[in-house]
Amino acid sequence: MSDTNRRHLLMGTATALAATGFATTASAQSLVAGPDNWATMNRAQRDSAYNNSAAVTDSAKIVDGWTKDSAKLRERFASLVDIPYGPKPRNKWDLFPASERSAPCLVHIHGGYWQTRSRENFSCMLEGVLAAGFSAAMPGYTLAPDATLIEIVDEVRHALDWLAAEGPSRGIAGPVILSGWSAGGHLCAMTLDHPSVRAGLAISGIYELGPLRDTYLNDKLHLTDEEVTTLSPLRLAPVNKPLALGYGTGELPPLVENSRTFQAYRANHHEAGALIPVPRANHFTVYDQLRSQDGVLAQAVFALARSVRS
């Protein structure tokens, strides 16, 4: 993208956010431009601004540990993993029902910038809620470039349709708390309006897609103007359900700004949901606070479940 077109994109994104009242002019410009002058950055600098794996030097080792631990949990529920909800290879659920079928269920959507990783990497993040007597479930979805972002969001909606219809016969009939990390945080925000969902917890998500078109992420996403406009939660009317937003204070600045601006936007529209900064956590270690039953993000899930049952 040329410098002229890049500046036009960034100005348009910031103006769109501010003009609709979703964010102040200053916060909109900060979200789009980041801590430096985005429009004058070269491609490598723009890529680095969103490259969580490169920012955390041991991220590959961390994910490898998650995958090994997740395999142990999935083995315990071997008859309830890899359950198809649609025709594509990744259209599958992993289900982890509690002993009480009416227990609240945490549905967690995995991350990977919509183009990497799978539910098999993340099952261990459900350990804390399972220990507290919750059910849990994790859907897979087709990755870019084999699916557009519009198609990915539709797949998650279809997965939630399936769980609402078929979950009770598999031991999951309680209220659904939807959650997600990174790209999954975005997908959580986009599908919070599903009729089966009572509340949500989005962790370290992207809620304004515009700048991604100018980074390596778009090599596979191929985001269109329509997708940026209709799939950026910061450009949409707020969903009238509780949505807590968590992030690590040690994350890359655009990730921090996405969560803070989105929570401010929702608060300005009188929508419920706490902002949960996790001190010193990076994009990967923030997950520890969901995995542990005593973690601040797991506690947020429990609070959301109490709020929708009261």
User: What pLDDT is recorded for position 14?
Assistant: 59
Name beta bridge partners: 84: 92
Domains and CATH numbers, the chain: 57-309 (3.40.50.1820)
pLDDT at residue number 156: 98
Q: What is the pLDDT of residues 20-49, one digit of tens each?
A: 555 555 555 556 555 456 888 999 999 999
Single-letter residue type at 31: L
Ordered strands of the 243-248 beta sheet: 83-84, 92-96, 135-139, 105-109, 176-181, 197-203, 243-248, 275-278
Q: Helix crossing, 149-166 with 183-191: angle to 10°?
A: 60
Which residues of the chain register pLDDT less than 70?
1-37, 310
How much is the pLDDT for 109?
98
Q: Give residue 183's pLDDT.
A: 98
- Predicted confidence at residue 38, as pLDDT, reads 81
pLDDT attached to residue 8: 46
pLDDT of residue 2: 44
Number of Cβ within a 10 Å radius of residue 229? 13
Distance separating alpha carbons of residues 62 and 45, to the nearest angstrom: 25
Supply the pLDDT for residue 309.
Answer: 83
Sort 168 into a burial class: Cβ within 10 Å, 0-12 / 13-18 / 19+: middle
